[in-house]
Amino acid sequence: MEINLGPIALRHYSGKGWSFAEIAFITAKNGGLARRESAVHAAFKSEHLTEMLGQENPNDKFIAPDGTVYYGKVHVVGGAVNVISAEQVFAAKARAAAINAADKAQSQPEPEPQAVAV
C-alpha cells in the first residue's frame, strides 16, 4: 500500500509474520531518471509469530532436566531469518506450566477443618 501526499510517500508492506513501513521524500516524482528519493525504513518482526509459524530447527536442541527434548524455531520471510533458540522454547513452556500449576493451586477449594473427638 502506498499513500502519496505531495512529495511525501507513505508505504506499508506486510506478509505472514512480518511488516515493513517506509516514509519517503520524493523530488521530480514523474521525472524519470531525474527522480530522487530519500526514505526511512522501519521493519517489524515477531517472536510470537516465529514460535507459532516457525519450523523446528534440528540443529538447535535443548534437553530439559526431565529428559524432554526441545528444538529451536526458524521462520524465514523473504530474506529475513527469524530464530528462537531451543532454550527460549523450553523457558516459555516451563513458564506456562508454572503459571498453570499456580492457577490450579489457587482455584482448589480450602479443605474444611475436621473435628477431632477427644
pLDDT in tens, 19-57: 788 899 999 888 888 889 898 987 777 888 888 989 999
User: What's the pLDDT score for residue 114?
Assistant: 75
Q: Which residue has the higher pLDDT, 30 or 116?
A: 30
Quick check: 86 and 62 in contact, CB under 8 A? yes
CA-to-CA distance for 39 and 7, rounded, in angstroms?
12
Give me the amino acid identity at 59.
Answer: N
User: What's the pLDDT score for residue 16?
Assistant: 63
Cell of 94: 516451563
Quick check: 49 and 79 in contact, CB under 8 A? no
Which whole-number Å values give the CA distances from 68 to 51, 52, 86, in the listed order? 18, 20, 12
14 pLDDT above the threshold of 80: no
54-106 pLDDT tens trace = 999 999 999 999 999 999 999 887 777 888 999 999 999 999 999 999 888 88
- Domains in the chain: boundaries: 1-45, 46-100
17 pLDDT above the threshold of 70: no
- pTM for the whole structure: 0.57
Which candidate, 59, 30, 48, 117, places its Cα nearest to that of 89? 48
